[in-house]
Structure 1
Amino acid sequence: MTSIGTSEKDISRRTMMARAGTVGLTAALASTGLPAAAALPAEEPAAPAAGAPARRADRWHRYVQAPSSRNVPPVRIVATSGDVANAEALLAPGGAATILRRPRPAAAPRWPEGTTAEASSSHAGNNGNDGRPRTYDAANAIDGDPDTFWNDDTPGEFPDTLTIALPQPTQLPGITVVSNSDGVPTAFTVEVRRDGVWQTAATVVDNDVIQRAVPFAEPVTTDRVRITVTSVQDTPRGAFTRINEVWPAPVDPIAVPSVTVDFGKVVVGYPRIRFTSASDNSPGVRVAFSETRQFLTDRSDFTRSDQAGGAGQGTDQFAVPASGADWTDRKGFQAGDKVFADGLHGFRYLRIALDALPSDAPAAQPWGEAEIDSVSLQFSAYLGTPSTYRGWFLCSDEELNRYWYGASYTNELVTDTFRQDDVDPRGAWSATLEGKLVLHDGAKRDRDPYVGDLAVSARTLYLTHDDTAEAVRNVLADLAAHQRADGWIPPASISDYTLPLFDYPLYWVTCSWDYVLYTGDSAYAAQHHSNLIKVLDSWYPGVTDDAGLLSKGLGGTGGYGDYAFLGRTGQVTYYNALYVQALRAGARLARLLGRGGDAERWNARADKVSQAVNALLWDKAAGAYLDSTTGPVRHAQDGNALAVVTGIADGDRAASALAHLDATTRRPYGNAFMDNDTLFEQASQRVYAFTSYPEIEARFMADRAGSALDQIRRTYGWMDKHDPGITHWEGIGPDGSLYEGAYTSMAHGWSTGVLPALTHHLLGARPTSPGYATWEIRPQPGDVDWAMGQLPTPRGPLHVEWENADHAFRLAVQVPEHTRGSVSFPGEANQQSVRAGRQTLWDGRRATARGVQVTDGAVTVSDLGPGSHTFVCERHG
């Protein structure tokens, strides 16, 4: 946020309040019969005419990001290649067609009969999707089949060599290297053997194309050719050299005609292309998808078939009939076992190319002509238009508004129906979830509901579209139904509910409490109390050491992972702080059901774990909690943040731990989740919004609103301003990069914590008992001038708006029926007075009305019932 001078800031505040916040405060005062002047500074304009409040209330609509309908068109053309006519016509369907043309290529040159090949290493074979064995040895590079390839077996280790032996000396004008898009050699040399001596015939650097013609300075007669690769394009699976074919002549590729369209932001669903006509040879179309332009190549940044063994080789295929077709991308083969499409995708950019896989011949050919009338997307996820929002937020900071609605849109993209063809292919399909609304992990990748993600994404859902809370219950109930006999609860349906994670059963507990807290669904709590007892009283005690701490490695858990599959063992602060949070949540659920014995037992255990964490994991020298008592000294964001949020850390320890994170993890793109690299390389440069959320919460809870907002602006500002924009990333790597390259999900529900943080802490409103039967409002404005918002509750909306002026804080609240709550005012109690209308409630020294007291240093007005309430808190001194 750009800083401005005091006078300019005052003008900005007054202008914004005149347009927005003041109108609401004035209207609220008027509704209670109190004089409007009591809540307005002298310089504010008079209340606008009737109808203005409605216009003001709609101002948040412009931040809503979802498309206006389920048929989503692209917004611009960003690139073309090859022979393409009328590319812009794709943006104006019904007029001239976009035409892609490609001539039929000549047959590829072949090596003489008897030519052989060997390599420095070869990857072991496996079975393809068809069940037939596949080999990856050197012979694939000269077999004339571009659908097979040589794959070296030394990821990241170079040089890799491929040596081709001819049966007799042959004159070669050069060669052509055709590589696999997952292993393009970026730098290599070509040597030939003459008179028993190897000589360099060509050197290639900065290669980024699949078919690279390598002409020699002059024709060479030789019986040996050696290709030495010194670097390749990196992939999420490592850097492997993968060469499909080497031809005994330089052959320049015919440019593939392609058009790349931009949908303006990440979208999710089924692409649709209307072909008006085509040549009569079944020209193929390959469609690639990506959330960023950086990773949009001739293949997608990610498809589910990448994890399933992928018949599509990174693109979706279609053979265009001569008469044209209205094609919607659905999972499956178009012709027998050929021409595969993957179906649903999450992406921003879509590349349409006239091309075909060699293995798809003759059903699809990589040449011909195709005419396209239009491109669009059938949006599959929750469509969050202004009319569907039951909770909203608006404040004087433009950027914070963008981040809030960016989080909401990110979460809408992962709120979708669980469908067999669309979910993660790694054993995630489940008959018990099929057809149900769920919260997936990401829009493009790991389309499976993980309970750890719900710890954030479910809160985002409750505060925006709580009428879809069934998505959360569906997931929690399904995981409970698959609880193991020993009490362990699976993290997701992936691997047929067997993926071993150490921390995620604790998230099932905390998410169950959140679900009941926001929805009031006590029936869920009663139905699953036995699951709660098994996980807290059976499984976790089985991995607890003599000190009373969870210790990863006990009970056969040495191979268990966590949210980031980190190699942590023994007593870990994060696991134990999360355990305390789960025990407290379980106790609240037990109290709700009248199970006082369970609640007392779990609260007592939480106290014991808290004491042990402080005794054994506090590093006095660093002033922060150790990540683990095992291995090198390091201090993690997750453990330190949760220690503050759960109350394990007292005020002094909280301040010290947050100061340590400030000093060691601060980055331009957020706060890193480790303070050094002893766990893995560049750990201190990696930022997870998932673990940043509890740190942001901790800063607000420690009355450090300024540092919380600073962290929000760095973390979410970075994501908002970098491709693809708007949506929130799974993780950020060194220098603000995508932490896992093209594999990274750029719209991930677990990264949306900015939304509950701003609603619960900046605006300041949150439930304190199930179904908002009780609530509290405790604004923490920081440097924000005004804020307003609505929280959806089972009993109607809870509406809050405030203005933070130089000498006064003004607050208006609309309370739904059958609820009661309290409001607290920012600032020191002895430096302010509080009144409601003309009635003074606090005079700076003592309360003058019932229900007013000082709580944690703040003036608090308790037991507020349904209706409108307005307050002015005037600052003194």
Structure 2
Amino acid sequence: MVSSQQSGLPRRLLLQAGLAGAAVAAVPLPAAAASPRAGWQRYVIGPGRRHVTPTAVIASTGDVRNPEALLTRGGRVTVLTRPRPVPPPAWPTGTTATASSFHDPNGGNDGTPTTYDPGNAIDGDPGTFWNDAQPATYPAVLTVTTPAAITLPGVTLLSNSDGVPVDFTVETWDGAAWHPAATVTGNSAVQAPVRFTTPVTTSGVRLTVTRTQDTPRGQYTRVNALWPGIVEPETPPSVTVDFGRIVVGYPRVTFARASDDHPGVRLAFSETLRFLSDRSDYSRGAPGTDQYAVPAGGADWLDRNGYQSGSQVHAEGLHGFRYLKITLDALPADAPAAQPYGQVAVDAVALEFTGYLGAPGSYAGWFLCSDDELNRYWYAASYANELTVDTFRATDCDPRDAASPTLEGKLVLHDGAKRDRDPYVGDLAVSGRTLYLTHPDAAAAARNVLADLADHQRADGFLPPASIFNYGLTLFEYPLWWVTSSWDYVLYTGDHAYAAGYWPHLVKLLDGWYPTVTDGDGLLNKGLNNTGGYGDYAFLPRAGRVTYYNVLYVQALRDAARIAALLGHHAEADSWTRRAATVTAAVNARLWDPAAGAYLDTLDGPVRHGQDGNAIAVTAGVADPARATSALRYLGTATRQPYGNAFMDNDTLPGVGGATQRVYAFTSYPEIVARFRAGAADSAIDQIKRMYGWMTTHDSGSAAWEGIGPGGEPYEGGFTSMAHGWSTGVVPALTTELLGVTPTAPGFTTWAVVPHPGTVTWAKGVVPTPHGRLTVSWEGTAGSFTLRITAPAGTRGRVTLPDGTGRTRVTVDGRTVRGSLPELGPGTHVIVAR
């Protein structure tokens, strides 16, 4: 739930926007149609054109005239006015500052080290700050010493919005001892005037912080300034607009005019109302905003990465966001190029959209069923995936050290719209399938990533998970996702040339590197071959023989065997198939916990049971039907949350708080698939509705949060990506499992239709193939089940009717069939079971 206090927006404006005290549905999901057979096109969320404009003005502060004019181009303009502020008081020359600790410097936007030492609190520049060392220890103490005694009525504490001191004391020095001057508790203000009871003459001020706000990344204190005197906070003029959904691209602001004193504007972006403030919810640069100095004659400003004036007035360029806050303000360091006062008239605000432009005409595949909620989630997730399909550019990749000349200018699948704007192959295992089923014309986005990672294979066979750290990041299981994603790409596209071209890399990985981390039982063992420090998809501190790593290994070996068979390498196909059987047997013998009726997370640590390992054990065929039913039953009771199923059943993972309350759509996807395949379609649909229903009806309304944490909040606060490709698994789950359509040979030369209806009474859709459209629809009633298939030329397939359809008589194209159903060729076929 989002309150006006949480968002920092005036309640009056929130009420006008219909947002106060209510969950936020960020995407314009349409109301249910009068007819359940209404066309699927009405669910499409994409903006329809590259030039995207906001849908609402939700707040304004300070001196702003005509804020609503931002929604219409031409005619009236929005005018922000701010008088020249009185400079804050400065410390006398020669004043020094020390602290109990401070953070080490790190690289800034231009490569210059950013410092966090105590002198930043008294340097007169609010853009710099003192940051205590990490991990923080309290009390955190800042001591300011003047060369001679001065008289103070009080002090003013200016902090960062992500490091606000909550409880603190202020003391003064009389030449012999420290004396209390003020005590503050429960502070939440970024700028906090602290008045002394009576003015104090002193040569020193000591600030002692005993508590700061909790942030997703811990607690820390950030003091931008400790001013010697009382500075009352002012409200700078600002306007906040809502684009109605998360968008990605280059912001554009058209200024009609400005005063001639170089007024600046600062743009802050957020995917959520919850984390909207004077700073962006996530920023690749230290200021947390994009800056622009408005010329007197106005300008049509397209926000691109770089500096407007020498090394001043910096903007990041591309952003992923829903909300945009424009404030008449400037950084002190940007003077005189930009000043925090004057007047600007804004004619229009827009965004030049850079993601895949999804529209009804662009969808090669679609889905529709009798359950309106499922339809909404399918298209909402597809839109989230469209936001991640973009050209790789060093100017807007994230992190900055992910820049790669071999990816530059190529279409890729980024992790998210906001971050990470770097393709990770684990995410591709989900987002790639979503892409193939909706917009296969962009399949090169997946191939480009897979090929580039293979081209950077290490000499020992290990494959990097992404381009970050010059392809140096080490995630233990991510090379296995490269194998499965490569097979998915070949399976859906039929690109034999890719399989043949990267065959040597596959052999080098599976017969070179992974044997070096395999123990005597045939199990992968993280820690062998100096892999103890390797991470995984969530950088979890797991080591030793982990179920998830090993069942994914089984899946990768079987997928690799399929690639080998396709290319005629039968010796490798047989070898990898035998190895998969060995690992399967070892997992069932060593990692099954009969007491819980589920697979252990690891043999080498406290007893716990993970969603990832248990789910993939089912989808990879490691679990027999009895174990599959038992493991899924256990997950359904031990990890259930109102917003999905948690990824762990207890909190014994060291350094990972709230594991039993953390939900990843990434690891929930295989569990949902497993439930469909294990004959528990109703529970799969229930899990979809809890997780995707929560995401789409809570701020920001996106269907693809990177992760959900305690209380159903974004699991890493504003840092969380709210449009993440790895969370779009509802698309392939509903198409391949509920509708039931999957390829069984590369390029859909053969396919299977195996519906799992559950509570759904009818479903239909189109699955794109290299041969043309594969159209499937089915409808079930109490006494019959009817399935219609139109298959393109050059394909053939098998059908398995769902259990419980009452098949006393089955007809295929009007002819009664006894026994197994025949293989179907091209053309239209109708199967009826009564």
Tell me the TM-score normalized by structure 2: 0.93
Indicate whether 1:723 and 2:699 are aligned. yes
Please say if 1:871 is aligned against 2:828.
Answer: no
Does residue 61 (structure 1) correspond to residue 5 (structure 2)? The answer is: no
Within the candidate set 254, 258, 281, 1:278 is matched to 258
Matches of 1:203 and 1:322 in 2, distance apart?
A: 46
Q: Is residue 449–residue 493 contact of structure 1 (8 Å, CA) maintained in 2?
A: yes
Q: In the alignment, which residue of structure 2 is the partner of 1:219?
A: 199
Give the drift of 1:726: 3.1
Contact preservation (8 Å) 1:583, 1:606: yes
CA contact (8 A) 2:742 2:753 kept: yes
CA distance in 2, matches of 1:293, 1:642: 35
| Structure 1, gaps ≥5 residues long | 1-15, 22-55, 842-846, 854-860
Q: Secondary structure at the match of 1:560?
A: coil
Distance 2:806 2:110 in 1: 76
Q: 1:423 to 1:801 in 2, by over 3 A?
A: same
The answer (yes or no) to whether the contact 1:17–1:786 under 8 Å persists in 2 is: no
- How much does 1:186 deviate? 2.7
Q: Distance in 2 between matches of 1:112 and 1:794?
A: 74
The one-letter code sitting in structure 1 at the alignment partner of 2:252 is R
Matches within 5 A, 1:743-782: 743-782=719-758
Contact 2:175 2:203 in 1 (8 A): no
CA–CA distance in 1 between the matches of 2:583 and 2:797?
31
CA distance in 2, matches of 1:124, 1:594: 56
Per the TM alignment, residue 189 of structure 1 is displaced from its structure 2 partner at its CA by: 2.6
Q: Which residue of 1 aligns with 2:523?
A: 549
Q: How does 1:178-217 map to 2 (within 5 A)?
A: 178-193=158-173, 198-217=178-197
Residue 609, structure 1, aligned to residue 569, structure 2: no
- Read off the aligned partner of 2:352 and give its amino acid letter: Q
Q: Does 1:839 align with 2:799?
A: no
Alpha carbons of 1:115 and 1:818: their partners in 2 closer, same or farther (altered >3 Å)? closer
Tell me how far apart the structure 2 counterparts of residues 449 and 128 of structure 1 sit (CA, whole Å): 23
Asked if 2 retains the 8 angstrom alpha-carbon contact of 1:403 and 1:726, the reply is no
Kept after mapping to 2: 8 A contact 1:304/1:445: no
CA distance in 2, matches of 1:524, 1:121: 54
Can you list the C-alpha shifts for 1:112-140, whole angstroms capped at 9, x where unaligned? Answer: 44544332223334564556565433333
User: Which shifted more, 341-350 or 244-253?
Assistant: 244-253
Kindly tell me: are residues 147 and 827 of structure 1, through their superposed partners in 2, closer, same or farther at Cα, counting changes over 3 Å?
A: closer
After TM superposition, the structure 1 = structure 2 runs for residues 511-530 of structure 1, keeping only pairs within 5 Å, are 511-530=485-504
CA contact (8 A) 1:402 1:726 kept: no
Whether the aligned pair in 2 keeps the contact of 1:671 and 1:711 (CA below 8 Å) is yes
Superposition map of 1:243-322 within 5 A: 243-305=223-285, 310=286, 313-322=287-296
Match of 1:658 in 2: 632
Residue 457 of structure 1 aligns with which residue?
A: 431
CA–CA distance in 1 between the matches of 2:336 and 2:805? 81
Deviations 1:534-588 (A, max 9, x none): 1111111111111111111111111111111111111111111011001100111
Amino acid at match of 1:362: P
Partner of 1:676: 650
Aligned alpha-carbon RMSD (Å): 1.9
Secondary structure at the aligned position of 2:225 is classed as strand
- Alpha-carbon spacing, 1:817–1:190, altered in 2? closer, same or farther (3 Å): same
Q: Distance in 2 between matches of 1:787 and 1:546?
A: 48
Cα distance per residue 1:392-417 (max 9 Å; x no partner): 00111111011100111011000111
Distance across 2 between alignment mates of 1:133 and 1:91: 41
Deviation track 1:355-400 (CA, whole Å, cap 9, x = no partner) reads 1111111111111111100000000010010000000001111110
Q: CA deviation at 1:529?
A: 1.1
Aligned counterparts of 2:659 and 2:482: Cα–Cα separation in 1: 27
Residue 466 of structure 1: which of 430, 440, 443 is its match?
A: 440
Distance between the aligned counterparts of 2:219 and 2:316, measured in 1? Answer: 25
Distance 1:123 1:18, change over 3 A: closer
Distance 2:435 2:117 in 1: 50
Equivalent position amino acid for 2:88 in 1: A
Q: Where does residue 709 of structure 1 map in the other structure?
A: 685
- 2:134 matched to 1:174? no
1:97-246 map, 5 Å: 97-126=77-106, 128-129=108-109, 135-193=115-173, 198-246=178-226
Distance of 1:125 and 1:588 partners within structure 2: 50
Q: Is the 8 A contact 2:811 2:831 kept in 1?
A: yes
Aligned to 1:872, the other structure's residue is in SS state: strand
* 1:362 counterpart SS class: coil
State which drifts further: 244-253 or 737-746: 244-253
Distance 1:191 1:204 in 2: 12
After superposition, give the CA deviation of every residue in 1:449-485 in whole Å (9 maximum; x if it has no partner). 1111111000000100111111111111111111111
The offset of 1:222, in angstroms, is 3.8
Cα distance per residue 1:289-311 (max 9 Å; x no partner)? 01001111111011223xxxx4x
Q: Offset of 1:765 from its aligned partner?
A: 1.1
SS of the counterpart of 2:732? helix
Question: Residue 139 and residue 419 in structure 1: after superposition, are their counterparts in 2 closer, same or farther (change >3 A)?
Answer: closer
Using the TM superposition, give the Cα deviation of residue 19 of structure 1 relative to its aligned residue in structure 2, in angstroms. 4.1
The whole-number CA distance in structure 1 between the counterparts of 2:270 and 2:142 is 32
Asked if the contact 2:194/2:230 (under 8 Å) is kept, the reply is yes
Trace 1:418-433 onto structure 2 (pairs within 5 A). Answer: 418-433=392-407
Matches within 5 A, 1:480-499: 480-499=454-473
Alignment match, 1:479: 453
Give the Å deviation of 1:17: 12
Task: Tell me if the contact between 1:105 and 1:254 (Cα under 8 Å) persists in the aligned partners.
Answer: no
SS in 2 for 1:687: coil
Question: 3-state DSSP class of the match of 2:427?
Answer: helix
User: Separation in 2 of the partners of 1:693 and 1:643?
Assistant: 13
Write the mapping of 1:354-503 to structure 2, written as runs, cut at 5 A. 354-503=328-477
Q: For residues 480 and 610 of structure 1, what CA distance do their matches in structure 2 show?
A: 27
Aligned to 2:13: none
Comparing 404-413 and 818-827, the one that deviates more: 818-827
Report which stretch shifted further, 504-513 or 124-133.
Answer: 124-133
Structure 2: gaps of 5 or more residues = 1-31
Give distance in 2, aligned partners of 1:655 and 1:836: 32
Encode CA deviations 1:254-306: one digit per residue, 9 max, x unaligned: 3111111000110000000000111111111110101001111111011223x
Query: 1: distance between equivalents of 2:709 and 2:750?
Result: 41
2:616 counterpart (630, 634, 642) = 642
Q: Report the 3-state secondary structure (helix = DSSP H, G, I; strand = E; otherwise coil) of the residue aligned with 1:574.
A: helix
- Mapping of 1:681-696 within 5 angstroms? 681-696=657-672
Residue correspondence of structure 1 range 530-549 to structure 2 within 5 A: 530-549=504-523
Q: Which residue of 2 aligns with 1:862?
A: 822
Counterparts of 1:628 and 1:425 in 2: how far apart (Å)?
32
Higher Rg of the two aligned structures: 1
Q: How many correspondences in the alignment?
A: 801
Report the residue type matching 1:664 in the other structure.
A
Match of 1:857 in 2: none
Provide the secondary structure at the position in 1 that maps to 2:231: coil
Alignment partners' CA distance in 2, 1:463 and 1:131: 41
How far did residue 829 of structure 1 move? 7.3
- Distance, in Å, in 2 between the alignment partners of 1:260 and 1:220 is 42
1:657 offset after TM fit, Å? 0.8
CA–CA separation in structure 1 for the residues paired with 2:452 and 2:97: 53
